[in-house]
Amino acid sequence: MTLPPVATAFDARQTSSLGDARIAAKATRDEDRLRGAAEGFEALFLNQILQSGRAASFGDSLTESSATQTAQSLLDSTLTEVGAGRAGLGLSEAIYRQFSAHLGGAQE
């Protein structure tokens, strides 16, 4: 089976399209990594807030034990990971907007 001449001819414009596609793919990866880092920082910040709130308790409780503390710590970690970016604080979005201008193209 032979291919038509148009399909086998080399087109120099195709290489610039490939370069543009690579640049766009890298920009998308960088944006995804930045958004993930911003959400991770927001989760860390929320976790610190929860830990500080738990540390400011008003004395010993009857249910206070190392197992309870471990469970509360795991719950806090899970809540902050799930809530980062969705909690409405806007911290991750602010971080993303601040640093996205340095990715090469200004982001709105």
Residue 82 is predicted with a pLDDT of 77
How many C-beta atoms surround the C-beta of residue 63 within 10 A?
Answer: 7
Mean pLDDT of the chain: 75
**Does a structural domain hold residue 22?**
yes
**Does a structural domain hold residue 4?**
no
Q: Residue 71 class from Cβ within 10 Å (0-12 exposed, 13-18 middle, 19+ buried)? A: exposed
Total count of domains within the chain: 1
pLDDT, mean of residues 4-21: 57
d(CA 106, CA 31): 11
Q: Please tell me the pTM assigned to this model.
A: 0.60
Domain that holds residue 50: 15-54+63-103
**Does a structural domain hold residue 34?**
yes
d(CA 21, CA 11): 16
Predicted confidence (pLDDT) at residue 6 exceeds the cutoff of 60? no
Task: Tell me the pLDDT tens digit for each residue of 78-102.
Answer: 887 777 767 667 888 899 999 988 8
Predicted confidence (pLDDT) at residue 108 exceeds the cutoff of 50? no
**Does a structural domain hold residue 2?**
no
**Does a structural domain hold residue 108?**
no
